[in-house]
Amino acid sequence: MFEFENPPAFFLLLPIPVFYILRYMKIFSRLSLPLNLSDWNGSNFKWKGSARKFLSAFGRALCVLFYICLVFAYADPVFHLQQKVYSSKGSSVVFVLDVSPSMAAKDIGSLSRLEAAKNSIVSMAEMNGGSELGLVVMAENSAVLVPPTMDRKFFLNRLKTVSVGELGDGTAIGTGLSCAIYHLEKSRSPKKSIVLITDGENNSGAVHPHTAARLAVSKDISLYILGVGTRGVVPIDYVDPKSNKVYSGYLESKFDTSSIARIASEGNGKFFEIESLSALSQAVSSISKNENVAQSYYIKNQDIFYYRQFLIAAVILACLAWIVRRLLLQETL
């Protein structure tokens, strides 16, 4: 929450409109004597100094802004930040995200499968504020992008950089699950889970997905699988990150959920078939509810003061006003 610790300081702004009103009413104005210059029986001389008029007005505006910044600094602006700090461990969730080229198919509302998947991960991150989150991406190979961490900013920033095709063509589900299990098995969290988001069958990698699913059961790790995609002809559009080649057209989607549903069954997990944004939202809510852990926490209050910024701005404006009025306009200050 943003507020000012010394709001009566704003009464010091009242002299500004009063000064200009008095100047307009000719009550408080500079003493001047009119002097007309003209040829004999000719027209009066008119000075066309538009640039000087602009600089003069600009210099006055800088002086006014300088004074306003001083008043704002005196008002002591402060931002009160409240941060929830958890003192007990929550659940640990590792997302295994398919980044094979078929995930660029746009058949989940107006979004591609990958975009919808990333949005669902962001939603879960917001719902489970005290959970550790990790991220594994997979295609022909798999890679751990984020080990389980409480650092939401780092996790979400890394998630944004994920793109289709960065790990080649293929779907190494077993390898992706194995990477997630490796980073979860030593966790001390009361609940550990893997959320696999994919649109295809396992056709790559050295680890069979059923083997990985049974390993998750032995390590007391819950398994959730979201099968994202529809069947039929769907539009597809993406840029290969390796060759920068643009692929655009239509994909004959033969999305078969039976194989990944069997993986969920082997891991005593749950399978969600996602063909729309509403189905995706329901799946995310269900997983968040199941993996929610009651945690103890305290509120950390932090005050961020901004008077220094206004003082710096005032100094800069004062220097600019001096340059304009003293050096450019040659006025006596």
**Predicted local distance difference test score (pLDDT) of residue 329:** 78
82: pLDDT strictly greater than 70: yes
Strand residues in the chain grouped as ranges (E): 2-4, 77-86, 92-98, 132-138, 142-149, 192-198, 222-228, 232-239, 246-253, 270-274, 297-305
Burial of 67 (0-12, 13-18, 19+ CB in 10 A): middle
Domain boundaries, the chain: 2-29+51-80+301-328, 86-290
Q: Which of 122, 118, 123 is nearest to 108 (CA)?
A: 118
Percent of the chain whose predicted confidence (pLDDT) is above 90: 40
47: pLDDT strictly greater than 60: no
Instruction: Give the mean pLDDT of 244-262.
Output: 84
**Predicted local distance difference test score (pLDDT) of residue 43:** 61
Better-scored residue on pLDDT, 136 or 248: 136
Q: How confident is the model at residue 131 (pLDDT cuts 50, 70, 90)?
A: confident
What digits encode the pLDDT tens for the residues 181-224?
999 988 888 899 999 999 877 777 788 999 999 999 999 999 99
66: pLDDT strictly greater than 60: yes
CA-atom Rg of the chain in angstroms: 32
What digits encode the pLDDT tens for the residues 267-278?
999 999 988 889
- Bridge partners of 222? 193
Rounded to two decimals, what is the model's pTM? Answer: 0.70
32: pLDDT strictly greater than 80: no
Strands across the sheet with 222-228, in order?
142-149, 132-138, 92-98, 192-198, 222-228, 270-274
232: left (phi over 0), alpha (psi -120 to 50) or beta: left
**Predicted local distance difference test score (pLDDT) of residue 332:** 66
**Predicted local distance difference test score (pLDDT) of residue 30:** 64
**Predicted local distance difference test score (pLDDT) of residue 40:** 62
Instruction: Give the mean pLDDT of 235-248.
Output: 84
Task: Count Cα neighbours of 317 within 13 Å in the Cβ-side half-sphere.
Answer: 19
Instruction: Give the mean pLDDT of 240-263.
Output: 84
| Pair of tokens at residue 88 | 């007990």
**Predicted local distance difference test score (pLDDT) of residue 170:** 83
What digits encode the pLDDT tens for the residues 220-239?
999 999 999 888 888 988 88
**Cβ 194 vs Cβ 221: under 8 Å:** yes
Cα angle 100, 105, 106; round to 5:
145
User: In the CATH scheme, what is the code of domain 86-290?
Assistant: 3.40.50.410
Give the CA-trace dihedral at 272, 197, 144, 166, to 10 degrees.
170
Q: Please give the mean pLDDT across all residues of the chain.
A: 86
